[in-house]
Structure 1
Amino acid sequence: MPNPHAPLPFSATVHPEARPAQRLTWDSREAGPEVAFVALPGETMHGNRFVEAALEAGAPFVLTDLDVPRAVRVPEAWAALRAWAKAERAKNVRVIGITGSAGKTTAKAYAAAALNAHFMPVFNTQPAIACFLIEFGASDRPLVVEMGIDRPGEMAELVELVRPDVGVVTAIGPAHLEQLGSIENIVREKGVILNGARGLVGAQAAPFYPGAESYGFGNVTHAGQGLEITPQGATFTFGGVNVQLPLAAQVQAEAAVLALLLAREAGVPLTEAARGLLDVSVPGGRYRVHQGRFTVIDDAYNASPVAVSAALGALHALPGRRISVLGRMLELGDTERALHAQVGQEARARADLTYGVGEFAAELGERVYGTVPELIAALLEEVKDGDVVLVKASRGISWTAEQRAQAGVGLDVVVDALLQFRDSASAD
């Protein structure tokens, strides 16, 4: 519990009315009677503009340089937040840091389930990680931290903040190329997580990090055995223990191998850890399989070439008429058209029917649509009982709904339309 009256690892003037909080936020809209507000500088405006709103919402305290009621007043809020996060993280004996071009959210969820750990929510920015460490650092349970980057030098900053005891790279591929520039830069920047920690890399990433311990299936250091994938899910053995993962594919199975390895090394019995994996829940849009008259694979949260390739592999393994619905992948730099064409070629090889939407629709699919509404209308006319439909694209989270519809991103609306259509037809 963040307590402003406890000894703090930074100089501050604490208002006498400041109260302990359950957690911290840098988003004033989340501030409330149990949630304190940190006024951080932003790209367009400073969080100080929202201090009054946070106080009116009942925030127990605000971390700011302003002289206001319930203030924990500091010269610079971001520096104070980082210092506080580092001090709380130092109280925890096992912190797992996970990065990768794809699969890190899934790996985080499986590792946390096997370890009974606290884990990062959806956001993986530095402020989010700092707030998470302050909230849970002193816990006697392990921490699992997702560490995403999109610019050079950012992983070094994150490692300094998190200081993971185990650093994991799930996969390597072209992502955030506009800032990172090349695969070589991605390998180097993400690889910083392996320095000074126990390093583990997924099977796909292993060739990029010669000598690093690897996990997954096949020719890796720590391998699961006898992987079988069916419409019901994935099964394999690890350390002599049978593992069953409902509605899972190879990406989830590899995450489970990582989770079981981490659990074994933490002293958790493998049978107990394997039971924990049955309760894994990943956020919406990360390979959620919705079975019914036809099956919808909701993998629409985000997309990069390596992530789309993995999703297409999962689609190909399932019976029925396989349909891929792909939209634009963002932040790919000068190579974006070639990378979309590469993904589209793989889609044509692995799916029976391919749809593309947005600027690179022709590269992504044989059935081409300029906007998302046009795509949805055509798709609902086509889909039949027994089909399996994969939906994947980047989010365009900062764009308006109209911009996303025109660009062919944010395809969660396609998933919603498919499920509503399926359920309404079932009711009839």
Structure 2
Amino acid sequence: MLDPHAALPFSAAAHPDARPARRLTWDSREAGPDVAFVALPGERMHGNAFVDAALAAGAPFVLTDLDVPRALKVPEGQAQPALFAWARQERQKNPLVIGITGSAGKTTAKSYAAAALEAHHMPVFNTMPAIACFLVEFGATDRPLVVEMGIDRVGEMAELVDLVRPDIGVVTSIGPAHLEQLGSVENIAREKGGIFQAARGLVGAQAAAFYPPENYPGVESYGFGPVTHTGQDLQVTPAGAQFTYQGVTVELPLAAPVQAEAAVLGLVLAQQAGLPLHRVAHRLAGVSVPAGRYRVHPGRFTVIDDAYNASPLAVRAALDALHAFPGRRISVLGRMLELGPTERELHAEVGHYARERADLTYGVGAFAHELGERAFASVPEMLAALLTEVRDGDVVLVKASRGLSWTPERRAQEGVGLDVVVAALLEARGS
């Protein structure tokens, strides 16, 4: 329980009616009898505007600079620094914190690492306030923590490392993503490499070349091939992936090479923690990644839901996975965001690769012609054509960026947020 009356590392005063909570949230919509609310500054509005709503929902306490009932009151403008200070205090009580970053595969790696270690792990959101709430909630537990640490600007990793202070830092992959702010792949590698301020470092096979031993001493690699910690005899079929690690056989249903590499990461972490690998392998076989992260839906025709987000590196990996399936392979690709002045060129490169790996390619939105042979201006137009075309035995990959800050109308026009396409395909298939 999170006790607002306990000593905190900042100047705060708890209202007499403030009660302990089980959880802490920065989103007032999640506030309730067991969930306290942190009123933070936002892009459009300050969280103070939602304090009354959180209290009405029964929040046990509210971290705010307002004088309200059940307040954990801090000096004016100090709610966010107070939250971060609280998070650092609680994090120090945990013996093992894993931080995971990368241009692609962070959420998958997080899921497999957490399963291997039986750890608490971050939910979908990975913003600084979300991470801080997670550390406050779970820092003092006796289970390890796995934290996803995504960045989109210079200096952000340093801020995250200061907050999370991971014992082990992991970089899954390096490629063009968030180029509008980060500028180049070299900058991306350098910024993400800041996670290696941790005591130990691990990099995925693809990222290893960006972190040579002479510049990053002590950083080890994992995956398949010429790496420090390698899985053996990888076999990937439509049914899933299988490999061995340290003599232990690992079977991952409906998985692709990206999931297999994430499983190797989990095994490495578990081995270093002294856990029995055969039990770890059993847990890894049951990992279920969140919707939109390479989730395979078999049926009359197979739908690969990889629509949560997209970057050139992630799209190529998804296309490689698609290519391993029998039957007619169809790629449905939408716009990749935050690629800067080279975005048209990068979309064209991905579209060329799609034509090599798929039998039929659809593109939608701003770069539809670059992404697919069948190009559509908007999602509804593309979806109508796709539903007419798809037939039994096909395998359909759906992938694009999300554009969550955009209106539904703009998402449909620009070709992002293709989760609606996944839902329509599954409905049309009768599942």
- Measured in 2, the distance between the counterparts of 1:169 and 1:355 equals 32
Tell me the TM-score normalized by structure 1.
Answer: 0.98
CA drift of 1:194 comes to 1.2
Hey, what does 2:27 align to over in structure 1?
A: 27
Structure 2 residue identity aligned to 1:286: R
Structure 2 residue identity aligned to 1:181: G
SS of corresponding position for 1:384: coil
- Measured in 2, the distance between the counterparts of 1:36 and 1:379 equals 45
SS of corresponding position for 1:227: strand
Gaps of 5+ in 2: 214-218
Among all aligned residue pairs of Structure 1 and Structure 2, give the percentage whose two residues are the same amino acid: 77
- Measured in 2, the distance between the counterparts of 1:188 and 1:195 equals 12
1:34-57 CA distance string (max 9 Å, x none)? 111101011122111111111111
Work out whether 1:219 is the aligned partner of 2:226: yes
CA drift of 1:342 comes to 0.5
Hey, what does 1:60 align to over in structure 2?
A: 60
CA drift of 1:181 comes to 1.1
1:98-141 CA distance string (max 9 Å, x none)? 00000000000000001100000000000000000000001111
Counterparts of residues 55-94 of structure 1 (less than 5 Å)? 55-75=55-75, 76-94=78-96
Structure 2 residue identity aligned to 1:304: S
Hey, what does 1:420 align to over in structure 2?
A: 427
**Contact 2:250 / 2:285 at 8 angstroms: preserved in 1?**
no
Gaps of 5+ in 1: none
Q: 2:200 aligns with which of 198, 214, 235?
A: 198
SS of corresponding position for 1:225: strand
CA drift of 1:374 comes to 0.6
**Contact 2:327 / 2:395 at 8 angstroms: preserved in 1?**
yes
CA drift of 1:402 comes to 1.1
Hey, what does 1:4 align to over in structure 2?
A: 4
SS of corresponding position for 2:241: strand
- Measured in 2, the distance between the counterparts of 1:262 and 1:153 equals 27
CA drift of 1:6 comes to 1.3
- Measured in 1, the distance between the counterparts of 2:387 and 2:14 equals 59
- Measured in 2, the distance between the counterparts of 1:159 and 1:232 equals 38
1:234-281 CA distance string (max 9 Å, x none)? 000001000000000000000000000001111110001101112211
- Measured in 2, the distance between the counterparts of 1:26 and 1:195 equals 28
1:334-372 CA distance string (max 9 Å, x none)? 010000000001000111110000010000000010110
Tell me the TM-score normalized by structure 2.
Answer: 0.97
SS of corresponding position for 1:309: helix
Work out whether 1:263 is the aligned partner of 2:277: no
Q: 2:166 aligns with which of 156, 164, 167?
A: 164
Hey, what does 2:136 align to over in structure 1?
A: 134
- Measured in 2, the distance between the counterparts of 1:152 and 1:243 equals 38
Work out whether 1:405 is the aligned partner of 2:407: no
SS of corresponding position for 1:6: coil
- Measured in 2, the distance between the counterparts of 1:142 and 1:353 equals 44
Root-mean-square deviation (Å): 0.8
SS of corresponding position for 2:352: helix
Work out whether 1:307 is the aligned partner of 2:307: no
Hey, what does 1:289 align to over in structure 2?
A: 296
Hey, what does 1:110 align to over in structure 2?
A: 112
- Measured in 2, the distance between the counterparts of 1:3 and 1:14 equals 10
CA drift of 1:384 comes to 1.2
Structure 2 residue identity aligned to 1:317: A
CA drift of 1:10 comes to 1.2
Structure 2 residue identity aligned to 1:172: I
1:201-231 CA distance string (max 9 Å, x none)? 0001011111231100001110000000011
- Measured in 2, the distance between the counterparts of 1:240 and 1:32 equals 48
Hey, what does 1:44 align to over in structure 2?
A: 44
Alignment length (residue pairs): 424
Hey, what does 2:389 align to over in structure 1?
A: 382
Structure 1 residue identity aligned to 2:351: G
Hey, what does 1:396 align to over in structure 2?
A: 403
**Contact 2:112 / 2:287 at 8 angstroms: preserved in 1?**
yes
Moved over 2 A (4+): none
- Measured in 1, the distance between the counterparts of 2:198 and 2:334 equals 39
CA drift of 1:197 comes to 2.3
| Greater mean alpha carbon deviation, residues 114-123 or residues 196-205 | 196-205
CA drift of 1:19 comes to 0.4
- Measured in 1, the distance between the counterparts of 2:191 and 2:3 equals 35
- Measured in 1, the distance between the counterparts of 2:198 and 2:132 equals 20
Structure 2 residue identity aligned to 1:158: L
SS of corresponding position for 1:145: strand
SS of corresponding position for 2:430: helix
SS of corresponding position for 1:82: helix
Hey, what does 1:187 align to over in structure 2?
A: 189
Structure 2 residue identity aligned to 1:137: G
- Measured in 2, the distance between the counterparts of 1:396 and 1:2 equals 34
**Contact 2:168 / 2:198 at 8 angstroms: preserved in 1?**
no
1:281-335 CA distance string (max 9 Å, x none)? 1110000000001100000000000000100010111111111000000010101
- Measured in 2, the distance between the counterparts of 1:257 and 1:340 equals 31
Q: 1:174 aligns with which of 160, 173, 176?
A: 176
Work out whether 1:99 is the aligned partner of 2:107: no
**Contact 2:51 / 2:62 at 8 angstroms: preserved in 1?**
yes
Hey, what does 2:323 align to over in structure 1?
A: 316
CA drift of 1:196 comes to 3.4
- Measured in 2, the distance between the counterparts of 1:196 and 1:87 equals 17
CA drift of 1:178 comes to 0.9
Distance change in 2, residues 1:361/1:345 (3 Å): same
Hey, what does 1:368 align to over in structure 2?
A: 375
- Measured in 2, the distance between the counterparts of 1:220 and 1:362 equals 38
Hey, what does 2:216 align to over in structure 1?
A: none
**Contact 2:205 / 2:224 at 8 angstroms: preserved in 1?**
yes
